[in-house]
């Protein structure tokens, strides 16, 4: 369980026209994806053929950092900047697409890559859904 929804509900000011349900879903997907990518990179480092997973590890660590940052930006509402939010969401969707594709290429051999690819796909979609609702 996350606290994204209760935190948004307790925010003292109006959030404007943002779709709260999509915002909560995106924050939660970002947090989940950051964790999955971090764990996947670590699991890749434990594989016997780690050299073959260098690109995957790099993609995982980049995606984890971007998802973490995106979740944090989306959690702040004071002085909201729509252009910055849109750019961060686009970057996150791009990172999730790249990482999801990379992990999917290893998914048959490594279960952690399969799980991570799925988390990346969910986060990418949540970012795109939130972007489309921003108007």
- pTM reported for the whole predicted model: 0.94
Position 7 in a domain: no
Q: How many domains does the chain have?
A: 1
Position 110 in a domain: yes
Position 5 in a domain: no
CA–CA dist 108, 86 (Å, integer): 34
For 42-70, b/e burial (b = at least 16 CB within 10 A) is: ebbeebeeeeebeebbebbbebbebbbbb
**3/16: higher pLDDT:** 3
Please give the residue range of the domain that contains residue 36: 18-134
CA–CA dist 74, 79 (Å, integer): 12
Position 44 in a domain: yes
CA–CA dist 123, 63 (Å, integer): 10
pLDDT tens digits for range 55-66: 999 999 999 999
pLDDT at 64: 98
- Domain CATH number, residue 105: 1.20.1270.360
- Mean pLDDT value across the chain: 94
């Amino acid at each position: 369980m996350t606290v994204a929804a209760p935190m948004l509900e307790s925010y003292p000011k109006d959030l404007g026209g943002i779709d709260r349900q999509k915002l909560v879903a995106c924050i939660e997907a970002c947090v989940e994806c950051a964790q999955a990518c971090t764990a996947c990179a670590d699991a890749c480092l434990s594989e016997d053929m780690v050299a073959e997973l260098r690109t995957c590890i790099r993609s995982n660590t980049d995606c984890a950092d971007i998802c973490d940052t995106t979740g944090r930006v989306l959690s702040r509402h004071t002085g909201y900047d729509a252009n910055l939010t849109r750019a961060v969401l686009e970057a996150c969707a791009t990172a999730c697409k790249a990482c999801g594709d990379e992990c999917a290429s290893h998914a048959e051999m490594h279960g952690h890559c399969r799980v991570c690819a799925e988390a990346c796909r969910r986060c990418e979609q949540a970012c795109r859904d939130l972007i489309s609702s921003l108007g």
